[in-house]
Amino acid sequence: MRFFTNQHKFYCGIDLHANKMYVCVLDSSGELKTHKNIDTNPQAFLGLIREYREDIVVGVECVFCWYWLADLCRKENIEFVLGHALYMKAIHGGKAKSDKIDSRKLAGMLRGGMFPLAYAYPSEMRATRDLLRRRLFFVRKRGELLAHVQMTHHQYNLPAPGAKIKHHANLEKFENPFLDESTQRMFESDRYMIKHYTTEINKLEWYIRKKTKEDATNALNIELLRTIPGVGVIIALTLLYEIHEIKRFASVQNFSSYARLVKPKKTSDGKKAGSGGGKIGNQHLKWIFGEATALFLRQSDEAKMHLKRLEKRYGSKARAMSVLSHKLGKAVYFMLHRQEAFNVNKVFQ
């Protein structure tokens, strides 16, 4: 966990919502300067903090609507920090809770050096990252439709479609095998939606690839990631946009923790004190490293041999796969940090 510890003359805590924002400004001695509920309007916000802009830091909790405020502060040369929502126990632990109380607590945490930091993803690549996540949403919806087509065939004891019907050619050739009119209509509806999702997914993939090639550094990093056996364009793009800049991680341990590749430990007096915190980190990186590990095993004989050794050591294939994902995560960290292609001998040495 990282905290914001920089010193400023003024500290601005904001309890941010879609239409309203409660703004609290404290000075370095803790004196309350302003505490108001205003509209989420750039002019209203800048007008409220006009007197304190010479040396102020603005902090908000990581909620869905922080993008515009971060971009505004960056444009106006105002320091902005994003608070990690899962670490802000001080906000949620009081007897009474309101927007006014929360904004006061945020400002106090900023001033006291106890404001837990999250990563404020810069605007240059943020929108493309969100588009890539939206593509994944469409892929999963298409997967639900494909599963429903398979299930309907099994319900009527019919052979399931063997070809990959998500592809246009196979989908058009596949005949409707059902006798009941309602079931036929249901199948045609699924077929139409699968075709629609496939068309839109292909358009998004083309656009994201084109966007990535416009930046030479991103294009180079994509090629580096694709040197990993089994890693294709989509996995490489997801890794690139979810990681953003590898140098923002101080160590490989920080990166592994962020990607949820290691289990957090809780101890007290040298003894285990429960568990938790497993969902703190980037769920998209956790998922994509699982996918990359499975594909890596298909393409690499060294990985298959290493997985067998891990299974003997830990007695479980699930644990062995987790360890292998961690190794792959460390390899990605050093590849991007050193700008080196994948070397299987370094991974399993």
Question: Which CATH number do you get for residue 53?
Answer: 3.30.420.140
What confidence score (pLDDT) does residue 117 get? 93
Residues 182 and 233 in one domain: no
Residues 93 and 153 in one domain: no
Establish if 270 belongs to a structural domain: no
Summarize the confidence of residues 278-300 as an average pLDDT.
93
Residues 143 and 190 in one domain: yes
Structural domain that includes position 330: 219-265+279-347
Res 315 pLDDT > 70? yes
Give the residue from 281, 250, 278, 256 showing the smallest Cα distance to 266. Answer: 278
Give the residue from 54, 69, 52, 53 showing the smallest Cα distance to 15. Answer: 69
Q: Where are the beta strands (DSSP E) in the chain?
A: 3-4, 10-16, 20-27, 32-39, 56-61, 79-83, 115-118, 267-268, 271-272
For residues 303 and 294, the answer to whether their CB atoms sit within 8 Å is no
Beta strands 10-16 and 56-61, pairing class = parallel
pLDDT digits (tens, 9 = 90+) for 176-185: 888 889 999 9
What confidence score (pLDDT) does residue 140 get? 95
Residues 45 and 113 in one domain: yes
Sign of the CA dihedral running 145, 231, 239, 285: positive
Considering its fold, how many domains does the chain have in total?
A: 3
The alpha carbons of the chain give a radius of gyration, in whole angstroms, of 25
> pTM for this structure?
0.89
Residues 229 and 341 in one domain: yes
What confidence score (pLDDT) does residue 90 get? 65
Task: Write phi, then psi, for 128 (nearest 5 degrees).
Answer: -70, -35
> At 236, which amino acid appears?
A
Res 263 pLDDT > 70? yes
pLDDT digits (tens, 9 = 90+) for 14-30: 999 999 999 999 999 99
Establish if 188 belongs to a structural domain: yes
The C-alpha atoms of residue 234 and residue 291 are separated, in whole angstroms, by: 11
Residues 137 and 227 in one domain: no
Residues 202 and 109 in one domain: no
Res 296 pLDDT > 80? yes
Residues 206 and 307 in one domain: no
The C-alpha atoms of residue 85 and residue 66 are separated, in whole angstroms, by: 12
Residue 311: other Cβ atoms inside 10 A = 16
Establish if 271 belongs to a structural domain: no
Res 162 pLDDT > 70? no
Q: Who wins on pLDDT, 233 or 1?
A: 233
Tell which of 65, 98, 120 closes a domain: 120
What confidence score (pLDDT) does residue 86 get? 85
Establish if 148 belongs to a structural domain: yes
Establish if 322 belongs to a structural domain: yes
Residues 223 and 341 in one domain: yes
Establish if 274 belongs to a structural domain: no
